[in-house]
């Protein structure tokens, strides 16, 4: 009996979440991105976590969530380690080649974080400057593709801002919400207006029209019944109270 149970356990582990009989929807994220995902003690919480939990509920499945570096989030759904990738992921043409995106649930963009004694004026000023970004993000793509230079890559927006404060970079580029969180209480730092216009959506492995439809229905429902707005408010308030991430 014991042996059979062990074999079943090993098989379940090896098959991972690609298995049809999996009773758990696995979300993959990168939990340094408040208010979308951040750590409350050991627990990963945030707007994206609630959206994915609602998808699991609609499917009648259990829910789990894991965190990895941002540049490993999309690979995790491509390889089948997770079902749903949600990490404030911007829909881009490049990413669409590798994953399917749900309908967007937020309109947003990236901003420049600067020191007030070295004010940011316009994009042209960024050329040739040392710029900090979170690795694998649209902020990194802005520096490599638009400015045609190499950024200083950090593991999180907060780590990039620590480099700015320490003088290792002159500017940081990040999504507006985590950027706001990073400058809160920092008298010497300020934020620019949007330098891009972006939308967040959930990414899944290609070729799953039924799952995509369920995700889109869930997004429509949480927008219509006010849950999404309520999560945005609650997690923005909670994230505002966090200092170090």
Applying CB under 6 A, which residues contact ligand GLN? Answer: 30, 33, 70, 87-90, 134, 137-138, 175
The residue whose two tokens read 């507006």 is 176
SS (H, E, C) 168-222: CCCEEEEEHHHHHHHHCCCCCEEECCCCCCEEECCEEECCCHHHHHHHHHHHHHH
Distance of closest approach, residue 15 Cβ to ligand GLN, in angstroms: 28
Distance of closest approach, residue 187 Cβ to ligand GLN, in angstroms: 25
The residue whose two tokens read 């003088």 is 167
How far is the C-alpha of 126 from the C-alpha of 143, rounded, in Å?
Answer: 9
Nearer to ligand GLN, 87 or 239 (CB): 87
Nearer to ligand GLN, 126 or 154 (CB): 154
Nearer to ligand GLN, 134 or 181 (CB): 134
Contacts of 26 (CB under 8 A, 6+ apart): 17, 64, 65, 66, 81, 82, 83, 84
Distance of closest approach, residue 206 Cβ to ligand GLN, in angstroms: 18
Distance of closest approach, residue 33 Cβ to ligand GLN, in angstroms: 4
How far is the C-alpha of 42 from the C-alpha of 90, rounded, in Å?
Answer: 26
Distance of closest approach, residue 10 Cβ to ligand GLN, in angstroms: 33
Distance of closest approach, residue 41 Cβ to ligand GLN, in angstroms: 20
Determine phi and psi for 147, rounding to 5 degrees.
-85, -15
Could you list the beta-strand ranges (E) of 46-155: 62-67, 84-85, 99-101, 106-108, 110-115, 131-134, 152-154
Nearer to ligand GLN, 63 or 70 (CB): 70
How far is the C-alpha of 129 from the C-alpha of 50, rounded, in Å?
Answer: 38
Distance of closest approach, residue 76 Cβ to ligand GLN, in angstroms: 13
Nearer to ligand GLN, 65 or 89 (CB): 89
Nearer to ligand GLN, 88 or 151 (CB): 88
Nearer to ligand GLN, 141 or 234 (CB): 141
């Amino acid at each position: 009996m014991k042996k059979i149970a062990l074999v079943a356990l090993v098989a379940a582990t090896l098959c991972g979440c690609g298995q049809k009989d999996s009773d758990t929807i696995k979300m993959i994220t990168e939990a340094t991105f408040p208010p979308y995902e951040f750590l409350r003690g050991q627990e990963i919480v945030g707007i994206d976590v609630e959206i994915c939990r609602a998808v699991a509920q609609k499917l009648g499945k259990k829910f789990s969530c894991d965190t990895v570096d941002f540049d490993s989030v999309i690979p995790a759904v491509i390889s089948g380690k997770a079902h749903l990738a949600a990490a404030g992921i911007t829909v881009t043409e490049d990413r669409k080649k590798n994953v399917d995106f749900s309908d967007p649930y937020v309109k947003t963009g990236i901003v420049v974080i600067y020191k007030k004694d070295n004010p940011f004026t316009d994009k042209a000023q960024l050329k040739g400057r040392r710029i900090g970004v979170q690795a694998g993000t649209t902020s990194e793509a802005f520096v490599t593709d638009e400015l045609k230079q190499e950024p200083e890559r950090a593991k999180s927006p907060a780590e990039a801002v620590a480099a700015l404060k320490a003088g290792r970079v002159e500017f940081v580029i990040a999504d507006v919400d985590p950027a706001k969180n990073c400058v809160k209480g920092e008298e010497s730092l300020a934020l620019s207006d949007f330098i891009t216009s972006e939308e967040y959506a959930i990414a899944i492995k290609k070729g799953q029209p039924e799952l995509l439809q369920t995700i889109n229905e869930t997004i429509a429902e949480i927008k219509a019944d006010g849950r999404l707005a309520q999560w945005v408010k609650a997690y923005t308030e909670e994230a505002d109270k966090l200092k170090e991430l």
